[in-house]
């Protein structure tokens, strides 16, 4: 990302800042990382990140479209080229009718609507949270690779 002059912002719920901590553990992260919003409370997802209030009322915070809107919202709010988000249930109890281990991770980039990955994770709270971090970063990496390929194709006349 740094080599391409791209920036990243993070919206977190169940991971509570672990994604931002992982990113900032890398020397030079400040060239890419704009910041993060830990929107643990549902109303913060709506009021800070711009997640649709009716969607939150209908489905709760553990929903793929909520994850997508969180990623797009943090990208917009923090002025980044890319946004990633985590929302889900780490336990010990279910939430919004969803069982422990239900997680949605999302990425929103400069090219469009973004991508959401639904996860069904096993393990205790710590394992679910750390695996969510790993999966959202893996999703981001995949989208960055895809975006770079699309840019290369564009620059080479579509060949």
What pLDDT, in 10s, does the model give residues 129-153?
A: 999 999 999 999 999 998 888 777 7
**Is pLDDT above 80 for 155?**
no
Q: What's the Cα-to-Cα distance from 107 to each of 17, 70, 101, rounded to whole Å?
A: 16, 9, 19
Q: Distance of CA 84 to CAs 10, 87, 99, Å?
A: 5, 11, 23
Under the banding of pLDDT at 50, 70 and 90, the label for residue 50 is very high
The pLDDT assigned to 148 comes to 83
129 burial via Cβ count (<10 Å: 0-12, 13-18, 19+): buried
Partners of 84 in beta bridges:
10, 107
How far, in Å, are 142, 143, 149, 150, 155 from residue 159 at the CA level?
21, 20, 11, 11, 9
Q: Tell me the sheet residues that pair with 88.
A: 103
- Distance, CA of 44 to CA of 153 (rounded, Å): 39
Task: Look at the alpha carbons of 115, 125, 12, 142 in this order and tell me if their dihedral is positive or negative.
Answer: negative
* Alpha carbon distances (Å) from 82 to 11, 20, 53, 124, 132: 11, 14, 23, 30, 18
CB count within 10 Å of CB 96 equals 16
With a CB cutoff of 8 Å and minimum separation 6, the contacts of 4 are 148
Domain boundaries, the chain: 2-155
Look up the CATH superfamily of 2-155: CinA-like (3.90.950.20)
**Mean per-residue pLDDT, 53-62:** 98
Rg (CA), the chain: 15
The per-residue pLDDT for range 95-113, each reduced to its tens digit, is 989 999 999 999 999 977 6
Tell me if 75 sits within 8 A of 82, measured CB to CB. Answer: yes
pTM over 0.85: yes
């Amino acid at each position: 990302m740094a080599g391409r002059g791209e920036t990243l912002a993070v919206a977190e719920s169940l991971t509570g800042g672990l994604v931002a901590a992982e990113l900032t553990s890398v020397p030079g992260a400040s060239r890419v990382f704009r910041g993060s919003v830990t929107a643990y409370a549902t109303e913060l997802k709506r009021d800070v990140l711009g997640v649709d209030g009716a969607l939150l009322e209908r489905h709760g915070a553990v929903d793929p479209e909520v994850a997508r809107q969180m990623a797009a919202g943090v990208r917009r709010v923090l002025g980044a080229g890319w946004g990633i988000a985590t929302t889900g249930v780490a336990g010990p109890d279910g939430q919004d009718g969803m069982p422990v281990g239900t997680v949605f991770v999302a990425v929103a980039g400069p090219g469009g609507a973004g991508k959401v990955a639904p996860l069904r994770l096993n393990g205790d709270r710590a394992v679910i949270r750390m695996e969510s971090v790993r999966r959202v970063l893996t999703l981001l990496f995949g989208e960055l690779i895809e975006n770079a390929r699309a840019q290369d194709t564009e620059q080479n006349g579509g060949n």
